Amino acid sequence: MTSICLYFEVHQPVRLNRFSVFNIGNRESSLRYFDEKLNEEIFTKVAKKCYLPTNNMLLDLINESDRKFRISFSLTGTFVEYCNQFMPEIIDSFKELFKTGAVDMIEETYYHSLSSLYEDLEEFEDQVRLHRQMIKNLFNYKPKVFRNTEAIFDNRIAKKVLEMGYKGMITEGTEKILGWRSPNYLYRPVNTNLKVLLRNYNLSDDVGFRFSARLWKDYPLTADKFSQWISNCQGQVVNLFMDYETFGEHQWTETGIFDFLKHLPEKVFNYKHLDFMTVSEAVEAYDPVGEIDVPWAISWADEDRDVSTWLGNDMQLACFNELKNIGDKIRQKGDEELLKTWRKLQTSDHLYYVSTKGLADGDVHAYFSPYEGPYEGFINYMNILQDLKQKLD
């Protein structure tokens, strides 16, 4: 038997207001960092195109398959706050999905942050606890599997995650750590007894990135064809992990992405040796077949599959350090609003917008960025960090 783990990352960042050097230290612009209007606009747009229709479809598919179609989600704290603020019915629909018993919830940092890369992991633990509390409040459930921001993973983080009581963790199935080995098995980090699920990036990206690429030799991708590819895989699991926004947002309805999703379960069930499992079930059912050693952080982002997407240039490092270094002061101050603001600024997207990778060829970074380019992104973010810093003196 080979089990398909279908897992979706559900996240929306908190986009920033335009904040110039002249706003730094200015009372009127005090802590007015977040662009409420733009955030609401984007959120409601994506909700209508993706979250609501996809949730509905998944619920039908689960019920029609008698709960044999099983999926996993991770919802970030910033996403859930948007739901509460703008469209509480989305939370209700996630609750309904969860009630079927065919849906698993995955843990991560509440703010989708890079706190796992700080020397001191206290902030990371706090943000994981915040997420844990949120999932408990929403679903009365304690997740067993952890997925760090953008699947960032190394030995040190794995050890901490095990210490915090999780049984499994998700990361990228990159050759960097696997060499010749297959991502379709569970592995164990060299230093801890955690079960690691690895994303099958070829099959995941066939849906996430290539689905509507007309120049791709396998275009158009159908549920039939895709199930056949999966059925040819050997191993314990095939981990298909992607952004939830793939459905209806990155890939528009017109591309046929919803038809694809709709027919996927029935096509998979044609193969007797395939089934669906949630990530918790996969971690229960299978044992690691080998070890992985990850001294340097990997992730599922870009071609490099490391953290250079967020920390690849001097501007990104400067922002990252600035933010990290004011942490002690902010945490000691005990001002809830300040602490929350600082944490919202830790969301990894802010650094993603400052990436200069492939800038000259205008690549995928530009698609997601609310700025004209990385330099504008840096100036805005850095100005805000300088303002926040001044608030501490």
Partner 1 sequence: MKIAMIGWEYPPFKAGGLATHCYGLTRSLADKNIKVDFYMPKTKQSAESDRPNLRIIETGETEIFPYDRPDTKEIGGKFYDAVYYYNALVVSKVEENIKTNGKYDAIHCHDWLTMKAGVTLKHKTGTPLVLTVHSTEYDRSGWLYPNQWFIDIEKEGMENADRIIAVSHFTKRVITEKYGINPDKISVVHNAVYPIQEGHKKEIVLFLGRLTIQKGTEFFLRAAQKVKDYEPDTRFIVAGSGDMLPKLISQAIDLGISDKTIFTGRLTDEEVKHLYGISSVYVMPSVSEPFGITALEAISAGTPTIASKTAGFSEAFANCLKVDFWDTDEMANKIISLLRYDPLHKTMAEEGKREVELFTWDRVADRTIEVYQGVT
By CB under 8 A, residue 379 contacts partner 1:
yes
By CB under 8 A, residue 314 contacts partner 1:
yes
User: In angstroms, what is the C-alpha Rg of the chain?
Assistant: 21
Nearest approach in angstroms of CB 393 to partner 1 is 18
Cβ(68)–Cβ(276) below 8 Å: yes
Place of tokens 């997207």: 349
Stretch that binds partner 1, among 28-36, 73-81, 236-244, 353-361 (CB under 8 A): 353-361
Nearest approach in angstroms of CB 364 to partner 1 is 14
- Tell me how far apart the alpha carbons of residues 263 and 386 are, in angstroms, rounded to a whole number: 51
By CB under 8 A, residue 368 contacts partner 1:
no
Among 317, 331, 333, 389, binds partner 1 (CB under 8 A): 317
Among 155, 212, 231, 356, binds partner 1 (CB under 8 A): 356
Nearest approach in angstroms of CB 357 to partner 1 is 10
Strand partners, 275: 3
Applying the rule CB under 8 A, the residues between 21 and 40 that interact with partner 1 are 21-22
Of 393, 389, 392, 387, nearest to 28 by C-alpha is: 387
Q: In terms of CB distance, is 115 or 383 closer to partner 1? A: 383
Exactly one of 9, 107, 150, 249 is catalytic; name it: 150
By CB under 8 A, residue 376 contacts partner 1:
yes
Segment holding 73, helix H or strand E: strand 71-75
Q: In terms of CB distance, is 20 or 84 closer to partner 1? A: 20
Nearest approach in angstroms of CB 320 to partner 1 is 11
Nearest approach in angstroms of CB 322 to partner 1 is 10
Residue type, 264: L
Active site residue 150: yes
- Tell me how far apart the alpha carbons of residues 125 and 310 are, in angstroms, rounded to a whole number: 21
Q: In terms of CB distance, is 215 or 360 closer to partner 1? A: 360
Instruction: Please state the φ and ψ torsions of residue 271, each to the nearest 5 degrees.
Output: -100, 120
Give Cβ neighbours of residue 386 (< 8 Å, ≥ 6 apart): 24, 322
Of 172, 174, 203, 198, nearest to 186 by C-alpha is: 198
By CB under 8 A, residue 363 contacts partner 1:
no
Q: Which residues of 156-182 are buried (b: 16+ CB within 10 A; e: fewer)?
A: bbbbbbbeeebbbbbbbbbeebbeeee
Among 64, 375, 390, 392, binds partner 1 (CB under 8 A): 375
- Chain contacts with partner 1 (rule: CB under 8 A): 20-22, 313-315, 317-318, 356, 359-360, 362, 372-373, 375-376, 378-379, 382-383
